[in-house]
A and B are shown apart, each in its own frame.
Chain A
């Protein structure tokens, strides 16, 4: 029941927002986001209680003879992912309040539609429905960039983004259908059994299909080339949705579909995927170091962190997956925070060239302080949320390949290089003529930043609620796999 409500709220609010007109759109969207968060927290509370099954799952036939059903379930992993959506949605909506958009009711409507599709992808237990939600999320973000971006090349960039991701996910469709052809049902349990019954080399092919789809979206080198330009051209709210939530659909898909269904495929061909992930980490870190512009630096750093994420998940053991789930949540919060910092800077300076800034700490110490904590989270300092996730991921990865782990582990070192350098060149040093007039944070910006910083620290100091909710589900997911 709750799963349906979680899906219905943003969907309904999106329609309402588009119909109601520009005036109250943002308040309506924020209201829907907060309601969504409350219900998700309710589901967290119900989790593991007796008789909560009926509340947390839903199953109704859709196209019966083809084995497709409207099936949703909030198990531990899905709950954490639902929390990611429900937590970030109101924050992203509230963070957009200090910008004005043309036709805001459509802008917020599309945001809510996107939230609905991502919520659907994270909670469904039907393979085809997962694909449908996964694809559908593309449409709102495509229009958000196409219509609200001010980038001169936006038409080309959005086209590349759309075709690239569509191309990848069509391979996932083929892999799904291949499994379905054996199982006769899209129920995920049936898909797992079908996948495990395949021979090693068949599993390898099916794995390749899934991996292309997810590697494009995460993105993993060499499928990443759509990402920096897309992040750069999207309006900040769109970038937050993309980096914060949407890309996690791919890593979630790896957890939910690839690892349990194709153990031999992962074992046999996973090394290639792990190597690509490790290259991805190195390459993206190098690119991040070379960037002059803050937004592009964040975009590249995102690729670096997600490389570790995909490597950890594909190592296929409990630590890797636990770490993956934690990192998805943490990276979501951190990237929203980092892009919000971009939004604050850009709204005051009208550019994000780091070499032309400096000394903002002198003018605005509070902003510099909050930004510093976010940077610490991003470089995975202990006691921040980034640490828990990345530590577990590397731990999982280490059991498979110590050497590649050493390479991927460089992300922490290199991350410190570019993040601290960015912080230094923007915040420290003497203030120049441009930064001297850096306006103080308004109350609304303070609220958003404070909430984000509290989350980063709280999850770093006390990650147990998340880990203990996810743990039983991770174990049952890995049951029957001899790894």
Chain B
């Protein structure tokens, strides 16, 4: 409860600071607020607080919800540090953009704590609506407008489908409560109504997390949106949608009908194949990373497939490590593209090792982590997925995961080899000290989180 209040107040406070012309205070206040949010979440650890009990307790802040909150808040904190370079104090609409990010973060927290389908829908909407605006925030850029429009159009369609699914479920069960749904299904019998309802919810989520065959909006939106917004979308928005989906499939729609797990297996398979093969032919790194993000969504869907037996902590680990790598790579792309006429092609990365060693090395570490090469933490994330899938005996899926991982390494390495290809008279790329330090710390984290993976068992 306190978590939601803090975030909402923080968003309003930021807008108020803008009105009061105290723009210099905006970033410090946000940092303090997010640190406060993390602190409060840690203080609430183990309390299982259920606010609004008199309204039926639609949210529960158990440890899983709190750890998702902490992860999202930390990623948001890093996002603000890194985005501080792009949205300097003079930029127009800076405060609006920051406030929108905070409001969207509020949706992410709701999605990780909901226990009621109404809250699920509210969470999805609070999460998405600010991002539609953010995607179109470069008003004079056609691509950004296209991204915003596309995202809004398909996103609201997905929300509508999700809502339809929720209402059908309500029709069958007579309650929005996850517990009630679980009890209703405990015999393993799915009435046609709830069968249709859960299929629609699955499709709605598939849109939000961008897995095939509902992923086609993602590359255009990721490429067109301003790069910091893309970084936000691929980390918190995606992570929150997965937190919501995992909860729905892990604690309400259980046991999952055979046909549905088969459907999810097929979705994962075509997601991995389509995204990785398409990524190979991309020349624009931002678009390539969009496809890589889809491929990671395919991997993360593996956790949903095995949600009945998987602890959510592995999903949290995957979200965290992928988000760190994703933040690094999108912000490096932003800086590299910014000084060469918004050119984000692979060739733009040539000679980066000389032009900005810190960015070059952290980008390399991030890409290797996404490719899943040990000893970087991305490897353990993929490892957790594959162990779970093997436990459920989907061997064919495992083989597809393995082969597409190798294909994935191909396009990541292409960027890395551009980074280490020397070029003539390359000017240095200057970035602020705070960005440099943050990138360095994040890339060290990607190694440390691998060796400290046992901390995960504390959750």
Q: What is the count of residue pairs linking A and B with beta-carbon distances less than 8 angstroms?
A: 74
Is B169's beta carbon under 8 Å from chain A? no
Segment among B47-55, B66-74, B291-299, B405-413 that sits at the interface with chain A:
B405-413
Query: In the complex the two chains form, is A155's CB within 8 Å of B417's CB?
Result: yes
Query: In the complex the two chains form, is A159's CB within 8 Å of B410's CB?
Result: yes
Q: In chain B between 426 and 459, which residues have their CB closer than 8 angstroms to a CB of chain A?
A: 451, 453-454, 456-457
How many residues of B are in contact with the other chain, CB < 8 A? 30
Segment among A58-66, A342-350, A430-438 that sits at the interface with chain B:
A58-66
| Chain A residues whose CB sits within 8 angstroms of the CB of B451 once the complex forms | 62
Segment among B149-157, B238-246, B267-275, B386-394 that sits at the interface with chain A:
B386-394
| Chain A residues whose CB sits within 8 angstroms of the CB of B391 once the complex forms | 181
Bound form: Cα–Cα A325–B390 in Å: 34
Given known A-B contacts A158-B417, A163-B410, A174 and B457 have beta carbons under 8 A apart: no
Query: In the complex the two chains form, is B409's CB within 8 Å of A163's CB?
Result: yes
Segment among B115-123, B205-213, B368-376 that sits at the interface with chain A:
B368-376
Given known A-B contacts A135-B374, A159-B414, A181 and B390 have beta carbons under 8 A apart: yes
Is A136's beta carbon under 8 Å from chain B? yes
| Chain A residues whose CB sits within 8 angstroms of the CB of B414 once the complex forms | 159
Given known A-B contacts A166-B406, A171-B402, A174-B386, A65 and B457 have beta carbons under 8 A apart: yes
Bound form: Cα–Cα A173–B402 in Å: 9
Bound form: Cα–Cα A174–B396 in Å: 11
Is A398's beta carbon under 8 Å from chain B? no
Given known A-B contacts A143-B420, A146-B417, A181-B390, A166 and B373 have beta carbons under 8 A apart: yes
Bound form: Cα–Cα A61–B451 in Å: 12
Query: In the complex the two chains form, is A63's CB within 8 Å of B454's CB?
Result: yes
Bound form: Cα–Cα A319–B203 in Å: 60
| Chain A residues whose CB sits within 8 angstroms of the CB of B456 once the complex forms | 63
Query: In the complex the two chains form, is B420's CB within 8 Å of A174's CB?
Result: no
Is A147's beta carbon under 8 Å from chain B? yes
Is A170's beta carbon under 8 Å from chain B? yes
Is B338's beta carbon under 8 Å from chain A? no
Bound form: Cα–Cα A136–B447 in Å: 12
Is B399's beta carbon under 8 Å from chain A? yes
Is A5's beta carbon under 8 Å from chain B? no
How many residues of A are in contact with the other chain, CB < 8 A? 31
| Chain B residues whose CB sits within 8 angstroms of the CB of A143 once the complex forms | 420
Query: In the complex the two chains form, is A159's CB within 8 Å of B399's CB?
Result: no
| Chain A residues whose CB sits within 8 angstroms of the CB of B416 once the complex forms | 146
Bound form: Cα–Cα A64–B455 in Å: 10
Our pick among A128, A159, A171, A173 for the contact of B417 (Cβ within 8 Å) is A159
CB A133 to nearest CB in B, in angstroms, measures 8
Bound form: Cα–Cα A177–B380 in Å: 13
| Chain B residues whose CB sits within 8 angstroms of the CB of A132 once the complex forms | 374-375, 379
Is A97's beta carbon under 8 Å from chain B? no
Query: In the complex the two chains form, is B368's CB within 8 Å of A173's CB?
Result: no
Bound form: Cα–Cα A142–B390 in Å: 31
Bound form: Cα–Cα A425–B136 in Å: 71
Bound form: Cα–Cα A181–B373 in Å: 22
Q: For residue A146, which residue of chain B has the nearest CB? A: B420
CB B238 to nearest CB in A, in angstroms, measures 24
| Chain B residues whose CB sits within 8 angstroms of the CB of A174 once the complex forms | 386, 390, 398-399, 402
Bound form: Cα–Cα A208–B247 in Å: 38
Bound form: Cα–Cα A147–B399 in Å: 33
Is B278's beta carbon under 8 Å from chain A? no
| Chain B residues whose CB sits within 8 angstroms of the CB of A166 once the complex forms | 373, 405-406, 409
| Chain B residues whose CB sits within 8 angstroms of the CB of A383 once the complex forms | none
Q: For residue A128, which residue of chain B has the nearest CB? A: B383
Query: In the complex the two chains form, is A63's CB within 8 Å of B413's CB?
Result: no
Bound form: Cα–Cα A159–B421 in Å: 13
Given known A-B contacts A63-B454, A143-B420, A174-B399, A135 and B410 have beta carbons under 8 A apart: no
Q: For residue B405, which residue of chain A has the nearest CB? A: A170
Query: In the complex the two chains form, is A64's CB within 8 Å of B457's CB?
Result: yes
CB A413 to nearest CB in B, in angstroms, measures 38
| Chain B residues whose CB sits within 8 angstroms of the CB of A66 once the complex forms | 387
| Chain A residues whose CB sits within 8 angstroms of the CB of B410 once the complex forms | 159, 163
Query: In the complex the two chains form, is B406's CB within 8 Å of A177's CB?
Result: no
CB A144 to nearest CB in B, in angstroms, measures 11
| Chain A residues whose CB sits within 8 angstroms of the CB of B398 once the complex forms | 174, 177
Given known A-B contacts A170-B405, A171-B402, A177 and B390 have beta carbons under 8 A apart: yes
| Chain B residues whose CB sits within 8 angstroms of the CB of A170 once the complex forms | 402-403, 405-406
| Chain A residues whose CB sits within 8 angstroms of the CB of B413 once the complex forms | 158-159, 162-163
Is A167's beta carbon under 8 Å from chain B? yes
CB B382 to nearest CB in A, in angstroms, measures 9
CB A184 to nearest CB in B, in angstroms, measures 11
Bound form: Cα–Cα A62–B390 in Å: 22
Is A139's beta carbon under 8 Å from chain B? yes
Our pick among B373, B403, B417 for the contact of A135 (Cβ within 8 Å) is B373
| Chain A residues whose CB sits within 8 angstroms of the CB of B405 once the complex forms | 166, 170
Is A138's beta carbon under 8 Å from chain B? yes
Bound form: Cα–Cα A106–B368 in Å: 19
Q: In chain A between 161 and 196, which residues have their CB closer than 8 angstroms to a CB of chain B?
A: 162-163, 166-167, 170-171, 173-174, 177-178, 180-181
Q: In chain A between 394 and 448, which residues have their CB closer than 8 angstroms to a CB of chain B?
A: none
| Chain B residues whose CB sits within 8 angstroms of the CB of A61 once the complex forms | 454
CB B396 to nearest CB in A, in angstroms, measures 11
Bound form: Cα–Cα A359–B456 in Å: 66
Query: In the complex the two chains form, is A139's CB within 8 Å of B454's CB?
Result: no
> Which of B391, B398, B413 gathers most chain A CB within 10 Å?
B413
Is A12's beta carbon under 8 Å from chain B? no
Query: In the complex the two chains form, is B420's CB within 8 Å of A167's CB?
Result: no
Task: Render B185-203 as a binary contact track against A, CB cut-off 8 A, 1 for contact.
Answer: 0000000000000000000
Bound form: Cα–Cα A159–B409 in Å: 9
CB A430 to nearest CB in B, in angstroms, measures 43
| Chain A residues whose CB sits within 8 angstroms of the CB of B374 once the complex forms | 131-132, 135-136
Task: Render A124-150 as a binary contact track against B, CB cut-off 8 A, 1 for contact.
Answer: 000010011001101100010011000
Bound form: Cα–Cα A171–B401 in Å: 11
Query: In the complex the two chains form, is A162's CB within 8 Å of B409's CB?
Result: yes
Bound form: Cα–Cα A180–B390 in Å: 10
| Chain A residues whose CB sits within 8 angstroms of the CB of B454 once the complex forms | 61-64
Bound form: Cα–Cα A66–B313 in Å: 13
Provide a sorted-by-A list of 7 A–B residue pairs whose CB atoms are within 8 angstroms. Answer: A62-B451, A135-B373, A139-B368, A146-B417, A162-B409, A163-B410, A173-B386
Point out residues on B near A: beta carbons under 8 Å: 353, 368, 373-375, 379, 383, 386-387, 390-391, 398-399, 402-403, 405-406, 409-410, 413-414, 416-417, 420-421, 451, 453-454, 456-457
Q: A135-B379, A146-B420 are in contact. List 13 more A-B contacts (CB 8 A).
A: A61-B454, A62-B451, A63-B454, A63-B457, A146-B416, A159-B417, A163-B409, A166-B409, A167-B406, A171-B402, A177-B386, A177-B390, A178-B390
